[in-house]
Amino acid sequence: MKTVSIGDVHGRLVLPTVQEISGKYDKIIFIGDYVDSFTEADLSISVNLFDIIEFKKANPDKVVLLLGNHDLQYMFGYDRHGCSGYRPQMKETLYSIFKDNKDLFQMSYQIEDTIWTHAGVHEGWYKQRFIKFVKDYPDLTLSQQLNLAFSKFNYESLFDVGHSRGGWYNVGGPFWCDANELKSSPIRRYNQIVGHTHMKYIQRMNIHNKEIAFIDVLEDSDFIKEDLFYYKEF
């Protein structure tokens, strides 16, 4: 199975490039953060999000839409999930788009021992903040546990913000884990593909004989091209 993963979009016009290469891949996985930008206009952000959703509807089994922390503040409110780049004038528009299409989004995706989340799963967070939920659903995969905890229970620890991002916790949860936090102790037994922390270029690291790929690289690009995406074959 050939996969292509798309880093944090933040309103950028990525879809034409994705559509152009889509025939070569079995799965197309967006890592989240479709909204908020310091450069893109309001209309561009909303239209790009709508177009990505329509692309998902046209390819329901091929396209995976993960959620990022910037998306949460429009889905659930700035008071609880506020972060940089928030545009109050877009609150109603983006809330409606996410609400009307909530079943098209998920928190995590997994193939074999590779897991996709927006920011990454930290070993300490998993053992200290999520293990109780895991014990209640031992027969599920990690991705299934995360998705269930999010969609059914709105499980509080998923939204932990670590000290390095201005939060109260030692490390962040899978929506907020900073790259430096993740590098220090990623969950064992899994390869991970994550966004959230901006990188100049895609970075791959091997830790505990597993690879982490950091793919939030679109921010500095003058235009979107194929080599800004991350490819993995199973």
pLDDT greater than 90 at residue 220: no
Q: What confidence tier does 111 reach under pLDDT thresholds 50, 70, 90?
A: very high
Sequence ranges of the domains in the chain: 2-233
Q: pTM of the predicted model, to two decimals?
A: 0.97
Cβ atoms 117, 66 nearer than 8 A: yes
pLDDT greater than 90 at residue 39: no
Domain 2-233 has CATH 3.60.21: yes
Task: Tell me how far apart the alpha carbons of residues 63 and 85 are, in angstroms, rounded to a whole number.
Answer: 26
Per the prediction, the chain carries an average pLDDT of 96
Task: Tell me how far apart the alpha carbons of residues 227 and 208 are, in angstroms, rounded to a whole number.
Answer: 27
Cβ atoms 163, 198 nearer than 8 A: no
Quote the pLDDT of residue 222: 80
Cβ atoms 29, 115 nearer than 8 A: no
